[in-house]
Amino acid sequence: MSARPPVLPAAPMDAANLAATLATHSARVMRWKPWELAVWALIWAAPFAAPQHAALINEIAILALFAISLDLILGYAGIVSLGHAAFFGVGAYAAALLAKHLHPDPLLGLAFGAAVGAVLGALTSPMIVRGSDLTRLMVTMGVALVLLELANKFDGLTGGADGLQGVVMGPLLGVFEFDLAARTASVYSLAVLFVAFVLLRRLVHTPFGMSLKALRDNRLRVAAIGLSVQGRLAVVYTLAAGLAGAAGALLAQTTGFASLDVLEFHRSADVMLALVIGGAGWLWGGLIGAIAFKLMHDLISAITPQYWTFWIGLILVLLMLVGRERLFSPRQWFKRGGTT
């Protein structure tokens, strides 16, 4: 009886085939799904179908942009942060100061707020790319607290506790005036959110975006294959800071006001809660979480203004203990004996 011939390993995929496979995969995952188009159609219809809630829609759009900026570093790169409000706040003050002292154009102010946020992110990124998660939590929170105290100290520039008042924005595109009903503001914020969402949706499916997920899962292996771990973390942190700065600029422009509140810890906490509700690691999580958080806040605070935080906290506890999939899918309750 002759011996069985040895099984040879499959030939490794050459570079051309690998590139073609990655390109095919990227094209497939970047293709818009019908439900995504339907959701965005509903979002765009909201300010026109319910103009009386334009101010709430504007707040949701700003929080959603803020949330997807946090998701970019937390859900995709695994960088934990409790001080994301630092970039939100400097973006708000930058846009407000530009409009008050130099030029009231909204798009110019938006770009300036995003740029200032990105610069702050680039300057602080060396402190973020090293160390443990606990180190990052303390550093990010410390940066936000330092900026809060500086804004309070230099009240001649920022207005201090009274806030920066007298911010008057020019018409959007030279045509659309910002009205008290926030109709122009809501459409403006939704447009910025949509552009950011489309660009980030493409980014996270590129090789760079895939490398971020690999960093989140195992940084040692990514470093072992020769990729720059610290460089990628610094780039994504700077990009997320710029998006957060843009969200802060939108808030200052659409409200005509900037105060110490934009740098307060609750800003970082609120955006973290929105991301927890929607789910980190996919861009829709920030958008869905912002919608859910703002609607819960608006509805519950209308019923019980004093205790709305209790009910939101209770929902979050259930979400963590039961799990998002089982909480919103009753059939999951009966799996595995109804246990969590």
On whether the CB atoms of residues 189 and 61 are closer than 8 A, the answer is: yes
Residue 213, Cβ density class (10 Å: 0-12 exposed, 13-18 middle, ≥19 buried): middle
**pLDDT tens for each residue of 80-92:** 888 999 999 999 9
Task: Find how far residue 75's CA is from the centre of its chain.
Answer: 10
- pLDDT, residue 32, reads 83
274 CB contacts (<8 Å, ≥6 apart)? 63, 64, 67, 286, 289, 290, 292, 293, 294
HEC secondary structure over 220-264:
HHHHHCCCCHHHHHHHHHHHHHHHHHHHHHHHHHHHCCECHHHHC
Rounded distance, CA 61 to CA 251, Å?
Answer: 10
**pLDDT tens for each residue of 82-127:** 899 999 999 999 999 999 888 889 999 999 999 999 999 999 988 8
Sign of CA dihedral 233, 235, 241, 244: negative
For the chain, domain boundaries: 45-287
On whether the CB atoms of residues 192 and 253 are closer than 8 A, the answer is: no
List the Cα angle 303/306/310 in 5-degree steps: 85
- What type of residue sits at position 2? S
pLDDT: is 296 or 308 the higher one?
296
- Confidence band, pLDDT 50/70/90 cuts, at residue 155: confident
Rounded distance, CA 147 to CA 118, Å?
Answer: 15
- pLDDT, residue 8, reads 43
Residue written as token pair 């493409």: 202
Interval 70-74 mean pLDDT: 92
Predicted TM-score (pTM) of this structure: 0.86
In the predicted structure, residue 62 carries a pLDDT above the cut 90: yes
Residue written as token pair 């205790």: 307
Class of domain 45-287: mainly alpha
Rounded distance, CA 90 to CA 120, Å?
Answer: 8
Rounded distance, CA 314 to CA 305, Å?
Answer: 16
- pLDDT, residue 84, reads 92
Q: Which of 78, 81, 65, 18 is nearest to 232 (CA)?
A: 78
Rounded distance, CA 33 to CA 280, Å?
Answer: 20
- pLDDT, residue 40, reads 92
Q: Which of 201, 283, 210 is nearest to 32 (CA)?
A: 201
In the predicted structure, residue 252 carries a pLDDT above the cut 50: yes
